[in-house]
Amino acid sequence: MNDVREAARKLSEKFPLSYWREHDKDPGKYPWEFVKAFAAAGWMGIMMPEEVGGMNLGLSEAAILMQEIAASGAGMSGASAIHFYVFPPAPILKHGSEEMKRRLLPQLAKGEHLMAFGVTEPTAGVDTSRIKTRAEKKGDRWVINGQKVWSTNAQNANKYLILARTSPRDEKRPLDGMTLFFADMDRKHCDVRVIDKLGRAAIDSNEVFIDGLEVPEENVIGEVGKGFHYLLDGLNPERVVVATECIGIGRAALKLATKYANERVIFDRPIGKNQAVAHPLAEAWMRLEAADKVAHHAAMLFDAGQPCGAESNTAKFLGADAGWQAADQAMQTHGGYAYAKEYHIERLWREVRLLRLAPVSQEMVCNFISNKVLGLPKSY
Ligand SMILES: Cc1cc2nc3c(=O)[nH]c(=O)nc-3n(C[C@H](O)[C@H](O)[C@H](O)COP(=O)(O)OP(=O)(O)OC[C@H]3O[C@@H](n4cnc5c(N)ncnc54)[C@H](O)[C@@H]3O)c2cc1C
């Protein structure tokens, strides 16, 4: 585990804060050099088996890898760039046919495919059962029509993992009847429009209008109609890793803040000598440590094949809150200079805020805990 931490830290450190500031400009610049460096070191296949070129490591190691990337100051600009190789392929790994795995996984492990991931739709929001994108069977091909929103990476992606309805919504089993497709991002049938957004400009987010996109039968992942359930399998690992990414960003912000609090002299003393400055930073550190313990515990349970839904959701909730509080406190510590981009705090602050909204909102985590852990009536 320490080897992963050390290696991830060393590689991330080659990309200083100035690199990320440069890529965060409008329009953002995709961090290809960073992606290529991690791909060359084999990290894209961290959780894939060795026979397809992966490292065959567990979630515990992946969580550390992503945490170190975020903590280097790369924040979500760096973490998202690698995260999208590690997690979206999970349904292929678990439910794809042997032929599909042999065909796709080696290239994914090498970082040779850039994938976008299309679940969210404008009118469905967090109620995925209401998606309207449809796939219809025509001979040995499926034809997809519909609209996705927030598809990360779609500007550059050559592959698109799409969830589409293959049978109408059934009130009794609303989450059945959706299918996962591994499609080519064929620009003749996918009109991709970038979304102008608050943070993480380096990694594009997009609306995608899909018109007659054809997918051969062999690129259906698992069984038709079970796509949503396959996504659920990947949710716990993703929540754990999002938690450790948030904690990483919180640590990066705290590192900048403590340096500043030691160096900035006002009223003839470093500002960090004032407890009004020091204590909230101490509190932020403690919250990050506590969230980290829950996240690593959840990862350990997952790697041991044990249920970890409550722990993974709790980790995501606590990690996102602790990361956000640390970044906000780092901003307060920097006073007016927090607003200046050269201090890097404002970028981390914008980036970590995202993780209270996505990939799953704090409210949906509370819904899960209320219903599945506390046994309260289902509200979603
Ligand atoms: C930068 C970014 C990148 C993203 N990348 C991707 C991607 O690559 N692929 C992809 O498919 N999606 C992606 N998403 C989408 C993301 O997962 C969604 O934004 C998220 O699911 C929320 O959907 P929504 O904005 O439509 O919220 P809505 O469904 O409109 O909800 C709005 C608010 O109401 C709350 N709410 C709604 N219903 C309930 C309820 N029953 N109980 C309590 N609270 C409720 C929600 O929690 C939320 O806070 C991304 C989003 C962002 C911002």
Residues of the chain with CATH 2.40.110.10: 115-224
2-109 architecture in CATH?
A: Orthogonal Bundle (1.10)
Tell the residue nearest (CA) to atom 13 of ligand 1. Answer: 150
- Helix, strand or coil for residue 344? coil
- Structure confidence at residue 87 (pLDDT): 86
pTM of the model as a whole: 0.97
Instruction: Tell me the pLDDT band of 71, cut-offs 50, 70 and 90.
Output: very high
- Report pLDDT digits (tens) over 100-115: 999 999 999 999 999 9
- Structure confidence at residue 73 (pLDDT): 98
Q: How far is the CA of 201 from the centre of ligand 1 (A)?
A: 18
Question: Which amino acid, one-letter code, is at 338?
Answer: A
- Report pLDDT digits (tens) over 185-239: 999 999 999 999 999 999 999 999 999 999 999 999 999 999 999 998 889 999 9
Tell the residue nearest (CA) to atom 3 of ligand 1. Answer: 150
Tell the residue nearest (CA) to atom 2 of ligand 1. Answer: 150
Residues of the chain with CATH 1.10.540.10: 2-109
- Structure confidence at residue 15 (pLDDT): 98
Q: How far is the CA of 150 from the centre of ligand 1 (A)?
A: 9
| Alpha-helix runs per DSSP H in the chain | 2-13, 17-23, 32-40, 59-69, 75-86, 90-95, 98-109, 227-263, 275-303, 309-333, 345-353, 362-368
In angstroms, what CA-CA distances link 266 with 258, 261, 277, 345?
15, 10, 12, 20
- Report pLDDT digits (tens) over 199-212: 999 999 999 999 99
Do the bridges between strand 205-216 and strand 269-270 make them parallel or antiparallel, or are there none, so unpaired?
Answer: unpaired
pLDDT greater than 80 at residue 1: no
Q: How far is the CA of 199 from the centre of ligand 1 (A)?
A: 16
- Structure confidence at residue 26 (pLDDT): 87
Which atom of ligand 1 has the smallest separation from the CA of 366?
43
Q: How far is the CA of 264 from the centre of ligand 1 (A)?
A: 40
Ligand 1 environment, Cβ below 6 A: 117-120, 125-126, 150-152, 197, 205, 354, 357-359, 361, 363-364, 367, 379-380
pLDDT greater than 80 at residue 159: yes
Residues of the chain with CATH 1.20.140.10: 229-373
6: left (phi over 0), alpha (psi -120 to 50) or beta: alpha
Return all residues near 322 (Cβ < 8 A) that are at least 6 apart.
Answer: 246, 247, 250, 284, 287, 288, 290, 291
Tell me the CATH number for domain 229-373. Answer: 1.20.140.10
Q: How far is the CA of 159 from the centre of ligand 1 (A)?
A: 23
Residue for token digits 């406190």?
329
- Structure confidence at residue 2 (pLDDT): 81
115-224 belongs to which homologous superfamily? Butyryl-CoA Dehydrogenase, subunit A, domain 2 (2.40.110.10)
